[in-house]
Structure 1
Amino acid sequence: MSPANFTVRMNATSTLPTSSYMMIVPETSGTTPENVSGNNFLENVPEQKNNSSLSTFLILMLSICVSGILLNLIVLCRRKRRRCSSAMRTSLFLLSTMALADTLCLIALLLFLTMRFITAANNPIFLNFFCKINTFVIHSTSAFSIWCWLVLSSVRYMAIYRPYSHLKINRQPRYAVIALSIFCCVIELWVLWDSDYIEEAKMCGNAITSGATAEMLHLFQIGEIILSYFLPAAVIIAMDLKVLLGRSIWMAVRADEKNGNALEVDSSDSRLSEKRPTRNVQDSTDRPGEDYSEMKEAIYESGRVISGPSKLFDNGQIKLKRNRSGRKVQQMKVLRRCLCITIFDLSMNLPSYLLRLYAILFDEPITSPYIMYVQEIAEILYFAQFALNAVYLACIIYDAPKESGNKMPIPVSAQVSSAYLSASPRVLSTKKSVSKREDF
């Protein structure tokens, strides 16, 4: 491969999420820079560095594809065999759908990388169809994966700030996934029009490179980049930061961590008092209009009958508070882990999208020899994140804290909602009961 041929292949950034797909179609020795129209994205890159870097790059990309496909398939099979509660199905459905989209994206990339070994690759009609379909699959699944992260962040946000609405969630995330899949396919339809197999360059690339139509396609590409990455990423970061900085739950958890086994008692709740609370004139003055509910009376009576001076009752309450404190600390650790993985995943997409924007907005070629390595690193990061969904499932869902007496893990959003319900005085004072509701 000559240096000129390599620079030509780096010119297709405007069509695909990354540019190096172009290097996998069978090439012929007769290809020259004059055979391909358009400005080169790279210039003056030494041939020896190109060949060695290209070999390493292809090996890494093949490794990412194979390992990512296997990991995601294992996760999907494990999810099928796993018995789970109705409360866990929402999180598992979203993550499994994202794993399926990531698998399709990696399969499409693997087909690109192995095209030189396919006999039918000599058929121009097949190659043209192949470029359109594979490019469309990679674009649409990439956008869908980002929007799935947004749905997951929305569920976490509701668990903190709308706990009762979160507990009522049933099929809404499924409807959202269906709507998002249609939306992502619609915004990527332009790829079927613009992507084509370029016979002279032996690569997939832009079918339209000049004229008013090309300018219109550039606008489509910019809009697609904004809708498929920058817009959902901004909303995800805003919601996750608000969740991370949620005062009520963080204050409750930090108090648990600081006080350790200290017993949390609501100042307005006298259920642990050794003496039965009586209503007198001063009580009426201090707390005008306050009624003692039947629940408080029943709690007091049960504690007095069981323990006499209520020591056993107090010990039981202390043990309950200890368990609750440890559970909330564990829930916050899981939440932090979720947020870190989400931000890390989004950051792996950023370099590739920035390079796409640069290739669309600026026609001047980049002459620095280091840009080739920057682009390869960006592409490796971009496709490696499709294999991380399996790690996300393994670390967050299957390794989540478990309820005592129940071997099924609790979904993260349900854990966070439970922590909020137990930490918020506003929720404790309400008359609604959510403890018996499982199906959401």
Structure 2
Amino acid sequence: MNSTLLDYDDSYLKQLEEVEGQSFVRTVGLAVFCIYVIALLFGVPGNVYVLYRLFKLAKYDTEKYANGTGSGLFAMATADLLALLFISVHNVFSGISLNISHWIASLLCKGLVFMTHMVTSVSIWCWLLMSTLRYLAIRHPLFHLRLWRAPNRAITLIILMSSVTNFWLLIAVDHVDNDGLSCAQSPLNEDGSLNRWMQLIECVWSFCVPVAVILYMDAMVIICRPVEFQRKNRSKLTRNERVSSKAKSVLWKWLTIAFIDVLLNAPENLYRLVILCGIMPVADPDVYNFSARMVAQ
């Protein structure tokens, strides 16, 4: 795994500043900013609405909420809402002059970067939790009925593991002296290789593992239906065909949303894997490389 001090030294940061000043990069940055604004305008009210509906479900049908996908969806919507807010705060503070001490700016950097990574990891693992519950309900319905508040315990474990895999950011991230809130990583060891190993672990945990399992379970739900389920549908034609049609419609909606979620998480994580595995060199910051990174994020 290639790693040098060049990732953190002054000459690299100066080259990065020159790249950021290019007109092409500024144009891409403006487009990305517009996308952030659109995501914020739709994402915040959308997630608030989901939380409102889940509050109503928890109030009127506590058992269905606690033992079904309700708690997983609640945790995911909360994580997505917080991610949007943290990213927005970071972007706003990066663009304005802050008259605060380096110590306070450093704490803000550490907290914002850690929380953004942590809640993003929680979000995609909650998708995995819901995919697992959907898989069990269709493929192993009797086992699924025996689950008692297992989703709540799983969410607690997800939050704990996502915090542990991103804890190193609280040590490595620091504020770079600048007018705005500019955050960067400091090397954890002499050549910075430890930073890359920690990023690789976090990337595998928060993307590779959950995406692989989600794709497998959702594929099994579509391809391998239980024989008993198929026989029941054949035996009760009129009513069961309507129920089956509605269930298929709901299932395909879930699978479509899951696919979009995975698709939108893919660019940044694939970009990070390419860099971390040394497939693409990062020693010389490049206009197109830097622009691709902004778009991926």
Q: How many angstroms apart in 2 are the aligned matches of 1:228 and 1:39?
A: 31
Task: Give, as a single letter, the amino acid of the residue that structure 2 aligns with 1:206.
Answer: Q
Distance 1:329 1:39, change over 3 A: farther
Task: Give, as a single letter, the amino acid of the residue that structure 1 aligns with 2:183.
Answer: C
Per-residue deviation, 1:230 = 0.3
After the TM superposition, which residues 176-325 of structure 1 pair with which residues of structure 2 at under 5 Å, given as runs? 176-199=154-177, 203-208=182-187, 211-212=190-191, 214-248=192-226, 252=230, 264-265=234-235, 321-325=237-241
**Conserved in 2, the CA contact under 8 Å of 1:39 and 1:363?**
no
Q: How many angstroms apart in 1 are the aligned matches of 2:188 and 2:12?
A: 8
Q: How many angstroms apart in 1 are the aligned matches of 2:99 and 2:203?
A: 30
Distance 1:339 1:78, change over 3 A: closer
Equivalent residue in structure 2 for 1:76, among 47, 51, 67: 51
After the TM superposition, which residues 330-409 of structure 1 pair with which residues of structure 2 at under 5 Å, given as runs? 330-360=246-276, 361=278, 362-365=281-284, 367=286, 369-379=287-297
Residue by residue over 1:104-129, the C-alpha shift from the partner in whole angstroms, topping out at 9 and shown as x without a partner, is 11111111111157675532122100
Which residue of the partner structure matches residue 40 of structure 2?
Answer: 65
Per-residue deviation, 1:342 = 0.9
Residue by residue over 1:393-422, the C-alpha shift from the partner in whole angstroms, topping out at 9 and shown as x without a partner, is xxxxxxxxxxxxxxxxxxxxxxxxxxxxxx
Distance 1:139 1:46, change over 3 A: closer
Identity %: 22
After the TM superposition, which residues 125-140 of structure 1 pair with which residues of structure 2 at under 5 Å, given as runs? 125-140=103-118
Q: Aligned-pair RMSD on alpha carbons?
A: 3.1
Per-residue deviation, 1:76 = 1.3
**Conserved in 2, the CA contact under 8 Å of 1:147 and 1:180?**
yes
Q: How many angstroms apart in 1 are the aligned matches of 2:19 and 2:159?
A: 42
Task: Give, as a single letter, the amino acid of the residue that structure 2 aligns with 1:87.
Answer: K
Per-residue deviation, 1:43 = 7.7
Residue by residue over 1:332-363, the C-alpha shift from the partner in whole angstroms, topping out at 9 and shown as x without a partner, is 12112211221221121111012222333333
TM-score under structure 2 length normalisation: 0.83
Distance 1:117 1:234, change over 3 A: closer
Residue by residue over 1:248-281, the C-alpha shift from the partner in whole angstroms, topping out at 9 and shown as x without a partner, is 469839x96xxxxxxx44xxxxxxxxxxxxxxxx
Equivalent residue in structure 1 for 2:124, among 146, 158, 174: 146
Distance 1:247 1:78, change over 3 A: closer
Q: How many angstroms apart in 1 are the aligned matches of 2:183 and 2:284?
A: 20
Distance 1:78 1:163, change over 3 A: closer
Which residue of the partner structure matches residue 11 of structure 1?
Answer: none
**Conserved in 1, the CA contact under 8 Å of 2:172 and 2:186?**
yes
Distance 1:353 1:43, change over 3 A: farther
Task: Give, as a single letter, the amino acid of the residue that structure 2 aligns with 1:358.
Answer: V
Task: Give, as a single letter, the amino acid of the residue that structure 2 aligns with 1:73.
Answer: V
Q: How many angstroms apart in 2 are the aligned matches of 1:209 and 1:116?
A: 24
Q: Tell me, what secondary structure is at the counterpart of 1:365?
A: coil
Per-residue deviation, 1:222 = 0.8
**Conserved in 2, the CA contact under 8 Å of 1:41 and 1:359?**
no
Q: Tell me, what secondary structure is at the counterpart of 1:208?
A: coil
Q: How many angstroms apart in 1 are the aligned matches of 2:47 and 2:26?
A: 31
Distance 1:75 1:347, change over 3 A: same
Equivalent residue in structure 2 for 1:160, among 116, 134, 138: 138
Equivalent residue in structure 1 for 2:242, among 326, 331, 335: 326
Equivalent residue in structure 1 for 2:84, among 106, 127, 133: 106
Which runs of 5 or more structure 2 residues have no equivalent in the other structure? 1-6
Residue by residue over 1:231-258, the C-alpha shift from the partner in whole angstroms, topping out at 9 and shown as x without a partner, is 11111111111111014469839x96xx
Q: How many angstroms apart in 1 are the aligned matches of 2:13 and 2:97?
A: 29
Q: How many angstroms apart in 2 are the aligned matches of 1:45 and 1:115?
A: 17
Q: Tell me, what secondary structure is at the counterpart of 2:69?
A: helix
Residue by residue over 1:165-208, the C-alpha shift from the partner in whole angstroms, topping out at 9 and shown as x without a partner, is 11222201100101111111011101001111011696201122
Paired residue total: 284
Distance 1:116 1:40, change over 3 A: closer
Q: Tell me, what secondary structure is at the counterpart of 2:282?
A: coil
Per-residue deviation, 1:74 = 2.5
Per-residue deviation, 1:365 = 3.1
Per-residue deviation, 1:163 = 0.7
Task: Give, as a single letter, the amino acid of the residue that structure 2 aligns with 1:244.
Answer: I
Per-residue deviation, 1:130 = 0.5
Q: How many angstroms apart in 2 are the aligned matches of 1:98 and 1:36?
A: 40
